């Protein structure tokens, strides 16, 4: 019986070639659009989830309220503060600042390119999953003149190596900031994935941050990322961090508001831990070094996907209903020969699918 239904359905579709083409093409385009949009939206919402420690990584955010009650959020702290946190606050496994800079970098007398690079603490490569293909992540950034470069940068500066990246360890690149400084290549990493909110071509130690650009923020120039122990109570951690800021930065924060007593600054400032996986879709934070997007884009595209699929289904249904009127005689003959309603439904559903 089923074999007969399939044979009839196949003959019917071949007989109505134009109808079949329009119906299949319309529904296929609708489904394809939905799949592509779904993949894009899924990528938007999965930024930074690839890190092995993603569930325990947080960005430190400070919120400032002005006299009108409007809140401004930023992530800038003194570049020495990450290590202060690591040494002083229980539950912090590792801490690293991140400053994104750009400068001219040269190798030899003739080769020079302008590159983006991140300035970080030595624990950065242990906190985040940016794999090295040459060098040791535990020690690659332990020296003040160390630099870790991406495969793209390696191929740009050293095209003659033909993929032999370990041979680059020990090579020297010159960074031209406020003063020229030589850095020794201590690691080569995979190119940073587009799924990372942190984008850079190279990594250098945070100690030299003052050589590359100047930030006019009174608090500092460094975004801080923390790796916490699994199961850490975030509210208690924020309280501990706030107490540390009171002791180390309270007076500096108070100075950012005219005539504000240091003891009163907490009325205007608060501290928060933001999960790393929330960073990319949060555009409310000022003065950061991350890539970001707007969640509204994902919502709009999702709505468009459902609309396209809905229209495709309506088109498919309309054409199917219109075509069914031409088969009234066939239905009558089948009923006269004893076909049941369920059998006819099964046949037409099979042809439709």
pLDDT in tens, 108-123: 877 889 999 999 999 9
Q: What separation in angstroms does the CA of 190 have from each of 1, 79, 131, 206, 296?
A: 58, 26, 6, 21, 31
Instruction: Determine how many CB atoms are found less than 10 A away from the CB of residue 290.
Output: 21
Q: What separation in angstroms does the CA of 138 have from each of 34, 128, 251, 344?
A: 43, 12, 36, 70
pLDDT beyond 90 at 331: no
Q: What separation in angstroms does the CA of 209 have from each of 63, 121, 155?
A: 24, 11, 26
Dmax over Cα atoms in the chain, in whole Å? 97
pLDDT bin (cut points 50, 70, 90) of residue 57 is: very high
Rounded to the nearest integer, the mean pLDDT of the chain is: 84
Q: What separation in angstroms does the CA of 42 have from each of 38, 45, 263, 298, 300?
A: 6, 5, 46, 9, 14
At 37 the pLDDT is 94
Q: Please report, to the nearest 10 degrees, the dihedral formed by the alpha carbons of residues 132, 278, 198, 231 taken in order.
A: -40
At 339 the pLDDT is 63
By percentage, how much of the chain surpasses pLDDT 90?
A: 53
Tell me how far apart the alpha carbons of residues 291 and 132 are, in angstroms, rounded to a whole number: 22
Tell me how far apart the alpha carbons of residues 353 and 270 are, in angstroms, rounded to a whole number: 58
pLDDT beyond 80 at 103: yes
At 323 the pLDDT is 64
Least confident residue range of 24-28, 38-42, 277-281: 24-28
At 250 the pLDDT is 66
Instruction: Determine how many CB atoms are found less than 10 A away from the CB of residue 47.
Output: 22
At 26 the pLDDT is 82
Strand (E) or helix (H) holding 172: strand 172-176
pLDDT bin (cut points 50, 70, 90) of residue 326 is: low
Average pLDDT of 281-292?
A: 84
pLDDT beyond 80 at 11: no
Rounded to a whole number of angstroms, the distance between the first and last alpha carbons of the chain is: 18
**Pairing of β 132-134 and β 57-65:** unpaired
At 285 the pLDDT is 86
On whether the CB atoms of residues 91 and 232 are closer than 8 A, the answer is yes
Could you tell me which residues are beta bridge partners of residue 12? none
Tell me how far apart the alpha carbons of residues 288 and 146 are, in angstroms, rounded to a whole number: 24
pLDDT bin (cut points 50, 70, 90) of residue 3 is: low
**Pairing of β 202-205 and β 111-120:** parallel
Higher pLDDT, 212 or 42: 42
Tell me how far apart the alpha carbons of residues 186 and 172 are, in angstroms, rounded to a whole number: 10
pLDDT beyond 80 at 138: yes
Tell me how far apart the alpha carbons of residues 185 and 182 are, in angstroms, rounded to a whole number: 10
Tell me how far apart the alpha carbons of residues 197 and 251 are, in angstroms, rounded to a whole number: 32
Q: pTM above 0.75?
A: yes
Q: What separation in angstroms does the CA of 146 have from each of 21, 107, 136?
A: 62, 15, 12
pLDDT bin (cut points 50, 70, 90) of residue 153 is: very high
Q: Which two tokens stand for residue 330?
A: 């066939």
pLDDT beyond 60 at 163: yes
At 95 the pLDDT is 97
Strand (E) or helix (H) holding 111: strand 111-120
Higher pLDDT, 269 or 140: 140
At 104 the pLDDT is 94
At 261 the pLDDT is 54
Nearest to 260 by CA among 87, 128, 64: 64
Tell me how far apart the alpha carbons of residues 70 and 348 are, in angstroms, rounded to a whole number: 62
Give per-residue pLDDT as tens, 193-250. Answer: 999 999 999 999 998 888 886 665 567 889 999 999 999 999 999 999 988 988 877 6
At 239 the pLDDT is 92
By percentage, how much of the chain surpasses pLDDT 70?
A: 77
Q: Which residues of 252-279 are buried (b: 16+ CB within 10 A; e: fewer)?
A: ebbeebeeeeeeebeebbebebbebbeb
């Amino acid at each position: 019986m089923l074999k007969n239904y399939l044979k009839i359905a196949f003959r019917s579709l071949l007989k109505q070639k134009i109808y079949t083409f329009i119906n299949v093409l319309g529904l296929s385009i609708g489904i394809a659009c939905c799949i592509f949009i779904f993949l894009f939206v899924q990528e938007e919402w999965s930024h930074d989830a690839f890190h092995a420690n993603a569930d325990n990584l947080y960005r430190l955010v400070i919120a400032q309220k002005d006299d009108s009650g409007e809140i401004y959020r930023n992530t800038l702290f003194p570049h020495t503060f990450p290590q202060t946190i690591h040494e002083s606050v229980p539950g912090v496994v590792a801490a690293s600042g991140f400053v994104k800079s750009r400068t001219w970098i040269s190798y030899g007398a003739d080769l020079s390119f302008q590159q983006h690079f991140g300035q970080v603490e030595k624990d950065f490569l242990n906190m985040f999953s940016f794999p090295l293909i040459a060098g040791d992540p535990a020690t690659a950034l332990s020296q003040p003149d160390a630099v870790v470069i991406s495969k793209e940068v390696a191929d740009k500066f050293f095209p003659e190596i033909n993929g032999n990246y370990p041979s680059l360890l020990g090579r020297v690149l010159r960074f031209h900031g406020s003063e020229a400084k030589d850095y020794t290549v201590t690691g080569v990493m995979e190119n940073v994935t587009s799924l990372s909110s942190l984008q850079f071509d190279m990594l250098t130690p945070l100690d030299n941050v003052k050589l590359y650009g100047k930030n006019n923020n009174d608090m500092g120039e460094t975004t801080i990322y923390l790796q916490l122990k699994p199961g850490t109570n975030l509210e208690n951690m924020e309280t501990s961090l706030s107490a540390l800021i009171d002791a180390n930065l309270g007076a500096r924060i108070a100075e950012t508001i005219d005539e504000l007593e240091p003891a009163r600054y907490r009325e205007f400032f608060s501290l928060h831990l933001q999960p790393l996986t929330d960073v990319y879709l949060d555009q409310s934070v000022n003065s950061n070094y991350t890539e970001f997007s707007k969640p509204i884009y994902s919502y709009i595209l999702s709505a468009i996907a459902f609309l396209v699929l809905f229209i495709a289904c309506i088109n498919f249904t309309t054409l199917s209903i219109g075509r069914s009127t031409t088969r009234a005689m066939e239905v009558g003959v089948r009923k006269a020969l004893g076909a049941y309603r369920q059998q006819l439904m099964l046949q037409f559903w099979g042809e439709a699918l």
